[in-house]
Amino acid sequence: MAAGCGKSPETIRPTVQGITESVYASGVVKSREQYEVYAMVTGTVEEIFVSQGMTVKKGQPIIRLKNTTALLSAENARLAARFAAVNQNLDRLHELRATVQMARAKASNDSLLMVRQKNLFDQHVGSIVDWEQRQLAFENSSTSYLAAAARLRELQRQIGLSAEQSRLAADIATQQLADFTITSKIDGRVYDMRKQVGELVTPQMPVAVIGDATQFYLELAIDETDIARVKPGQRVAITLSSYPQRVWEGVVDRINPIMNERSKLFTVEASFSQPPALLFPNLTAEANIFLSFKQEALTIPVNFLLNDTSVVLESGKIRTVQTGLKDYQRVEILAGLKKDEVIQKPAR
């Protein structure tokens, strides 16, 4: 029985050419300072001041919320502040001041009577009991005066403290009312409005997306196996789904130093050297970050490499090689293979 002839394996010789090593990344376009707008309080949307696509200034109102309970609380705080104010307690202060003045006058009068009685007693007029009674009356009126003066000081302290506490409570309530008007943190553009009039808003719900109107960057995801080779300042070749026939140049700006535990990816920010005339947030992008380049390198196709460490010679013998730079099509051979040697494509 004759044996069938198998197909001959594909063979090549290494070639000397330039090779660029790069890291692949996917990501999206982001607006500079892009952020999701959140409310500080809970309420229903009463009025919307802007629409999607509008440019806004820092501090410009975006949405006003309504919360009847908060309005009533603020009004109650203002009433309490007015009631606690010093000028609302003048009658109590006047009454106690009058009491202090009367107690002081009585103590002064009892002091004079005591002195007179003592002089009379020294002249053998009157009894010692009369003098002791005058002395006791003076001591009692002095104690009453000191007690009244202490009550006056305590009332003044309490009124002042109550007025200050009520004023602070009213200021806090007023500030909370201001939180019901959501404003822009930056000069920029409203890219998304997520609420309508009458809808409920809580501090956990984003109500809009705002970002810079003209400045954009790329947010790229890099695998943890490649992140150690990526550095700020490296060149980036960028392709956008919106511009499929064009490759844009950019540069790595920043590497976020923490990995996403779930995806095992790092986030890298890159900027356009010359951005497209029209960009929008969340456009999808793909990028190659250039790590290094060699003008003349001995290279073979990646699919001719066996287990990343060996090649199959024309004779079928396996030889270990040392590799260098690598892109998605070719790999550099540093040692183990010569330019004129023939290798075959490994069987997969």
**Quick one: pLDDT band at residue 314, thresholds 50, 70, 90?**
confident
- 331 vs 298: CA distance, rounded Å: 8
- 269 vs 292: CA distance, rounded Å: 19
**Quick one: pLDDT band at residue 73, thresholds 50, 70, 90?**
low
- Give the per-residue pLDDT at 134: 84
Mean pLDDT for the stretch of residues 247-271 = 93
1 versus 205: which is more confidently predicted? 205
Residue 216 DSSP symbol: E
Closest to 171 in 3D by CA, of 88, 83, 74, 82: 74
| Distance (Å) of CA 300 to CA 7, 18, 134, 271, 313 | 22, 12, 123, 33, 13
- Give the per-residue pLDDT at 294: 84
* Cα Rg of the chain, angstroms: 44
- Does the pLDDT of residue 330 top 60, yes or no? yes
- Does the pLDDT of residue 61 top 80, yes or no? yes
- Give the per-residue pLDDT at 85: 57
Q: Which of 44-58, 167-181, 203-217, 297-311 is predicted with the least confidence, judged by mean pLDDT?
A: 167-181
- Taking only the tens place, the pLDDT of each residue in 12-49 is 899 998 888 888 899 999 998 999 999 888 888 889 99
Q: Which amino acid, one-letter code, is at 330?
A: R
- 25 vs 58: CA distance, rounded Å: 34
**Quick one: pLDDT band at residue 59, thresholds 50, 70, 90?**
very high
Collapse the DSSP code of 121 into the 3-class scheme (helix H, G, I; strand E, B; otherwise coil) and give the result: helix
Q: Which of 74-88, 140-154, 196-210 is predicted with the least confidence, judged by mean pLDDT?
A: 74-88
- Give the per-residue pLDDT at 4: 42
> What value does the mean pLDDT of the chain take?
84
**Quick one: pLDDT band at residue 3, thresholds 50, 70, 90?**
very low
